[in-house]
Chain A
Amino acid sequence: MTYDIKNILSDLYQIDPSLREHEAKLQPLISELLEARSDLAINPAFRDRLRMILMNKIRDQKVAKPSFSRLFAAGLAGRSMYTMAGALVLILVVAVSVTILNRGGTPASPAGSQIAFEQDITKTKNEAFGPLAVAPVGGRGGGQEASGQKSLDTVATAPSGTGGYGGGGGMTKPSSLIYPVPQPSYVFNYVGDPISLTEKTVEVLRRAKGVGSMPAFDSLLGAFDVSGISLNSFGASKIQNLVLAGGGDNGYTITIDFFEGFIGISKTVFDWGPRCMAPEKCLDNQPSPTINQKPDDAKLINAANKFLKEHGIDTSAYGTPIIQDDWGIAYGQTPPEQRAMFYIPDAITVLYPLILNGQTVYEQGGMFPMGLQVQVSVRNLTVTGVWNMTLQRYESSQYEAETDSAKIIAAAERGGWGGYVIMATEAERLTTSVSLGTPSRGYLRMWNYNDGSNDELYVPALAFPVLKAPVRAYLPKYVVVPLAKDLMTQQYPDIMLMKGVAE
């Protein structure tokens, strides 16, 4: 008898204990009703669309705030708007700077000074970004040298995939690799529900860049002479980066990149390196933290939340924070007897996953979602840096979607996009089966070198959860497969095996 039926009968017996005598007849009746539980699943496209509507509704309801997005967007406005926007940027920068530079246990930022990151998506024509990943560039994981001519279609028809975590590359065909030693690799097996792919196109996003500047200040640059050098003699100049350094023990340095649409905050470091004036306080003179010194995850997250709230940094574009514990995975892999030698980082990253159209964005490799990163000191729970605070302006373009679920699953079983390279020859692999569960919709952030610019693309994707990783395996939490057909038929490099080493 199932747990459900037992519970239901137990409740009924409380009402009328005499029914216990007739359990044999009641049981099939309840069972029949339980089995009739509707198996109709919600349509994933409907579920995603409704989520997007709800999240947009929340954003629309928010009170207008001084907006990072709008200020950066001033670069697209008219001339008079430039001046106004420049002035606003100044106000923002000064406000943020004064608030942050002078922080240090001071009261929370005043209402209305919150930095908002509204997401704004502008539709463009179909396939406006050109071929996707036509020229993969190194970066997240590297290992993408151009060479071979193997298409994913060929790869995707292989019976199963193998690979060991290495990062970089496309969804590669097992062929050959330059790698110094044989490594364990893993066979992914999809064990989830059947996948239905009905959409003919997918909406690819590209983060807009180069739209921000400080025009109000640009015009002033020409008036400056620096040590006799006239800035005016260099022609029209404009401010693309701004760095504001705060002093004192609790000062922060703010870096604003108007071209990239990026703000970074880092603690002005005087407790490390040559600028550290008090040797007894210099961290490089002190032993590394031990695992016992590491605060609980909840404390780290609370410290990050508190910092963002105090400084009015809006997290509405981001999901529930998690600990980016890649070091912890490596620690777990280390044999217990060697863990005393393991380096515990001084700061641990609290990650706020970016949510686009209601869906999580994943990095290539799938180890963690991408998003706002807040580094928190293991020693004293102070925030030492905030990264990936980016302008949330995107262009969107429709691309043909891959609708063959078998190809998508095969690609997932090969390790997905950018997640795996093959570590050894077929005969040498120490294969271990790893199960992949039913995927959820998300985005894959990828980079595409296109006409001299490095496009930051967000491609609709399926994220397959790795259900159970082998002990001490450095595996991603997700295997991510983009849904744009263009990427399924891309050509990917062979990876050469170093002869005589892995053999």
Chain B
Amino acid sequence: MNEHADADFSAVRRFHDGVSEAFGELYDRYADGIFRFIYAKTRHRETAEDLTSHAFIKALEHLPAFRSELGSFRAWLYRIARNTVIDHYRTTRLTLDLEDAWDVAGNSDTAKEAEAQIALHKVEKYLADLTAEQRDVVFLRLWQDLSYAEIAQILGKSEASCKMMLSRVLLKIRKDVLVMLLAGLVRVIN
């Protein structure tokens, strides 16, 4: 459960009542996370900063239409961020169907962001072969600590399918785990 859900709800309501700073409160809470999420997808600081700006401006413009009964503010914001990244790659690389920087060879900005790049490089072997959607599940569940309900809201899928997706991701990136899955499947079939 998102520990800030109540505070988010209150801030959105105050923003609707005309309290501008309530948006600042939401921004303060999520600016870091949204930047990290976008950075994980773009692997380039300047691009991540640009897209973080776009995402928050979109969120500001669309906040009057946000309805809390349809899901959490955090998931709504991450969905905007994800779509912003997708839009970015689709509009800048028209000939390819890309959703993030992982599908673009050599896009990483290794020299500038050494520490982060080293961290990303360690798991590059796992993440590079995944689909963008599968990577999002990893980023959102493992790196952003979002709930499956929120990830489902962001990806437009069911909670169960998101759980299944992470399970498959883990299995896919570990050969010996694949063996385990097969063993498990055999047991299920039998």
A: residues with CB less than 8 A from B are 4, 8, 11-12, 14-16, 18-19, 21-22, 25-26, 29-30, 32-43, 46-47, 50-51, 53-55, 57-59, 62, 309, 315-316, 318-320, 355, 358
A39-B116, A40-B113, A54-B27 are known contacts. Are A33 and B142 too (CB-CB below 8 A)?
yes
The listed residue with most A CB atoms (<10 A of its CB), out of B14, B181, B184, is: B184
Q: Bound complex: CA of A355 vs CA of B28, how far in Å?
A: 13
Chain A, Cβ-Cβ closest to B159: A11
B: residues with CB less than 8 A from A are 14, 17-25, 27-28, 31-32, 35-36, 39-40, 45, 49, 52-53, 56-57, 60, 113, 115-116, 119-120, 122-123, 126, 138, 141-143, 145, 148, 163-164, 166-167, 170, 173-174, 176-177, 180-181, 183-184, 187
A29-B173, A54-B23 are known contacts. Are A36 and B56 too (CB-CB below 8 A)?
no
Contact between B163 and A14 (Cβ–Cβ < 8 Å)?
yes
Residues of B within 8 A of A58 (CB): 20, 23, 60
A38-B120, A319-B21 are known contacts. Are A33 and B138 too (CB-CB below 8 A)?
yes
Contact between B35 and A42 (Cβ–Cβ < 8 Å)?
yes
Chain B nearest CB, measured from A69 CB (Å): 15
Contact between A33 and B36 (Cβ–Cβ < 8 Å)?
no
Chain A, Cβ-Cβ closest to B138: A33
The listed residue with most B CB atoms (<10 A of its CB), out of A15, A26, A34, A36, is: A36
Chain B nearest CB, measured from A355 CB (Å): 6
User: What are 6 A-B pairs with beta-carbon distances under 8 A?
Assistant: A21-B180, A34-B143, A42-B35, A42-B36, A46-B49, A355-B24
Contact between A15 and B163 (Cβ–Cβ < 8 Å)?
yes
Contact between A30 and B176 (Cβ–Cβ < 8 Å)?
no
Q: Bound complex: CA of A54 vs CA of B26, how far in Å?
A: 11
8 Å CB contact of B53 from A25, A30, A50, A316 = A50
Residues of A within 8 A of B167 (CB): 11-12, 15-16, 19
The secondary structure that dominates the A interface is helix
Residues of A within 8 A of B57 (CB): 53-54, 57
Contact between B19 and A315 (Cβ–Cβ < 8 Å)?
yes
Chain A, Cβ-Cβ closest to B123: A36
Residues of A within 8 A of B115 (CB): 39-40
Contact between A40 and B52 (Cβ–Cβ < 8 Å)?
no
Contact between B36 and A11 (Cβ–Cβ < 8 Å)?
no
Residues of A within 8 A of B40 (CB): 38
| Given A38-B143, A54-B23, A55-B21: 4 more A-B contacts, CB < 8 Å | A8-B141, A35-B122, A40-B116, A358-B24
Q: Bound complex: CA of A8 vs CA of B165, how far in Å?
A: 12
Chain A nearest CB, measured from B29 CB (Å): 12
Chain A nearest CB, measured from B110 CB (Å): 12
Q: Bound complex: CA of A148 vs CA of B183, how far in Å?
A: 81
Q: Bound complex: CA of A132 vs CA of B55, how far in Å?
A: 39
Q: Bound complex: CA of A8 vs CA of B39, how far in Å?
A: 23
Contact between A29 and B170 (Cβ–Cβ < 8 Å)?
yes
Contact between A19 and B163 (Cβ–Cβ < 8 Å)?
no
Q: Bound complex: CA of A445 vs CA of B155, how far in Å?
A: 46
The listed residue with most A CB atoms (<10 A of its CB), out of B19, B164, B167, is: B19
Contact between B24 and A38 (Cβ–Cβ < 8 Å)?
no
Chain B, Cβ-Cβ closest to A46: B49
Contact between A54 and B60 (Cβ–Cβ < 8 Å)?
yes
Chain B, Cβ-Cβ closest to A33: B142
Contact between A38 and B174 (Cβ–Cβ < 8 Å)?
no
8 Å CB contact of A33 from B18, B126, B180, B184 = B126
A15-B167, A32-B123 are known contacts. Are A8 and B116 too (CB-CB below 8 A)?
no
Q: Bound complex: CA of A420 vs CA of B105, how far in Å?
A: 56
8 Å CB contact of A319 from B24, B126, B141 = B24
Chain A, Cβ-Cβ closest to B53: A50
Q: Bound complex: CA of A21 vs CA of B31, how far in Å?
A: 40
Contact between B181 and A30 (Cβ–Cβ < 8 Å)?
no
Contact between A37 and B60 (Cβ–Cβ < 8 Å)?
no
Chain A, Cβ-Cβ closest to B124: A36
Contact between B183 and A18 (Cβ–Cβ < 8 Å)?
yes
Residues of B within 8 A of A355 (CB): 21, 24
Contact between B187 and A11 (Cβ–Cβ < 8 Å)?
no
Contact between A53 and B32 (Cβ–Cβ < 8 Å)?
no
Q: Bound complex: CA of A358 vs CA of B31, how far in Å?
A: 13
A32-B122, A36-B120 are known contacts. Are A11 and B19 too (CB-CB below 8 A)?
no
Residues of B within 8 A of A34 (CB): 142-143
Contact between A51 and B31 (Cβ–Cβ < 8 Å)?
yes
8 Å CB contact of B170 from A26, A37, A320 = A26
Contact between A19 and B164 (Cβ–Cβ < 8 Å)?
no
Contact between A25 and B177 (Cβ–Cβ < 8 Å)?
yes
Chain B nearest CB, measured from A74 CB (Å): 25
Chain A nearest CB, measured from B45 CB (Å): 7
Query: 7 closest A-B pairs (Cβ-Cβ)?
Result: A40-B116, A18-B184, A316-B20, A36-B123, A42-B35, A58-B20, A37-B143
Chain B nearest CB, measured from A281 CB (Å): 35
Q: Bound complex: CA of A26 vs CA of B176, how far in Å?
A: 10
Contact between B49 and A43 (Cβ–Cβ < 8 Å)?
yes
Chain A, Cβ-Cβ closest to B32: A42
Chain B nearest CB, measured from A369 CB (Å): 12
Chain A nearest CB, measured from B181 CB (Å): 7
Q: Bound complex: CA of A355 vs CA of B21, how far in Å?
A: 8
Residues of A within 8 A of B177 (CB): 22, 25-26, 29
Chain A, Cβ-Cβ closest to B14: A320
Chain B nearest CB, measured from A298 CB (Å): 11
Residues of B within 8 A of A47 (CB): 31-32, 35
Contact between B60 and A38 (Cβ–Cβ < 8 Å)?
no
Contact between A37 and B142 (Cβ–Cβ < 8 Å)?
yes
Chain B nearest CB, measured from A427 CB (Å): 44
Chain A nearest CB, measured from B158 CB (Å): 13
Contact between B119 and A37 (Cβ–Cβ < 8 Å)?
yes
Contact between A320 and B21 (Cβ–Cβ < 8 Å)?
yes
The listed residue with most A CB atoms (<10 A of its CB), out of B22, B170, B181, is: B170
